[in-house]
């Protein structure tokens, strides 16, 4: 097992990425994570709320000395790997993922920070506004878990009627002294992203901690 190839590629990668395109050079960032069985390179943009929106993850298999991205085979219903043989393949994968990410967010007004910490929108209004969407809900609310009738988390899947995007809504309900509190968040994605999302979750399920495990800590 060796990470020599991983180190060589990551050393050169940043210089190559800066020349991908003007948009990436302005807002794209790279993070190297070695503290895992398979080291990975994560690519993201920063928002005004000091959060990171990740759009691509490149993993490295130190046993076979191979770079790859995770996908999901819909026919076999199992995670798969797309091998990246050299730095050119890696750059192309990042570039393609970056522009797919920008296209997915094009209908919202999310503002990303450039390398100087400024937003990439000429508008002086720093408020982040999300466009209202009209969703055709395909499923009822499905309870993911319920704890002692005090906390309930549900999910609901629908289709954005305007563009056909998938929409996943999460509702976290809690009750204190007979008063209900609801926290809601919505995640949208393209059909092409669905298999990757499923694969990433399936590949890391064993690393997740459930609520019952947190209570036992």
For residue 36, give the DSSP letter: S
Q: Are 205 and 183 in contact (CB under 8 A)?
A: no
pLDDT at 50: 65
> Each residue of 30-58: pLDDT tens digit?
888 886 788 888 888 887 666 778 888 99
pLDDT at 67: 94
pLDDT at 197: 86
What Cα–Cα distance (Å) separates residue 214 from each residue in 143, 145, 147, 175? Answer: 19, 14, 12, 19
Q: Where does the pLDDT of residue 71 fall: very low under 50, low under 70, confident under 90, or very high at 90 and above?
A: confident
Longest dimension (CA), the chain: 59
Write down the pTM of the prediction: 0.50
* Residue 76, φ and ψ in degrees, nearest 5: -85, -15
State whether CATH 3.10.450 applies to domain 135-216. yes
> Each residue of 51-60: pLDDT tens digit?
778 888 999 9
Buried b (16+ CB within 10 A) or exposed e, 130-167: eeebebeeeeeeeeeeeeeeeebbbebebebeeeebbb
pLDDT at 131: 44
For residue 3, give the DSSP letter: -
Three-state SS string across 102-161, please?
A: HHHCCCCECCEECCCCCECCCCCCCCCECCCCCEEECCCCEEEEEECCCEEEEEEEEEEC
**Mean pLDDT, residues 155-165:** 88
> Each residue of 94-151: pLDDT tens digit?
998 888 888 776 544 444 555 555 554 444 443 333 345 688 888 888 888 787 767 8
What burial class does residue 69 get, using C-beta atoms within 10 Å of its C-beta: 0-12 exposed, 13-18 middle, 19+ buried?
A: buried
Domain boundaries, the chain: 4-113, 135-216
């Amino acid at each position: 097992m060796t990470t020599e190839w991983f180190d060589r590629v990551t050393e050169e990668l940043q210089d190559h990425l800066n020349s991908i395109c003007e948009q990436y050079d302005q807002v794209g960032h790279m993070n190297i994570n070695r503290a895992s069985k398979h080291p990975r390179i994560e690519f993201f943009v920063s928002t005004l709320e000091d959060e990171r929106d990740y759009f691509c993850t490149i993993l490295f298999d130190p046993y076979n000395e191979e770079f790859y991205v995770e996908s999901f085979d819909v026919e076999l219903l199992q995670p798969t790997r797309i091998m990246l043989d050299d730095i050119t393949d890696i750059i192309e994968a990042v570039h393609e993922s970056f522009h797919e990410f920008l296209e997915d967010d094009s209908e919202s007004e999310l503002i990303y920070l450039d390398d100087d910490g400024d937003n990439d929108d000429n508008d002086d209004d720093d408020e982040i506004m999300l466009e209202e969407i009209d969703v055709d809900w395909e499923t009822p609310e499905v309870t993911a878990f319920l704890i002692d009738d005090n906390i309930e988390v549900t999910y609901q899947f629908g289709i954005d009627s305007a563009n056909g995007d998938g929409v996943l809504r999460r509702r976290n309900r809690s009750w204190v002294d007979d008063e209900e509190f609801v926290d809601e968040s919505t995640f949208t994605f393209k059909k092409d992203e669905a298999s990757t999302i499923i694969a990433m979750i399936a590949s890391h399920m064993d690393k997740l901690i459930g609520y019952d495990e947190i209570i036992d800590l």
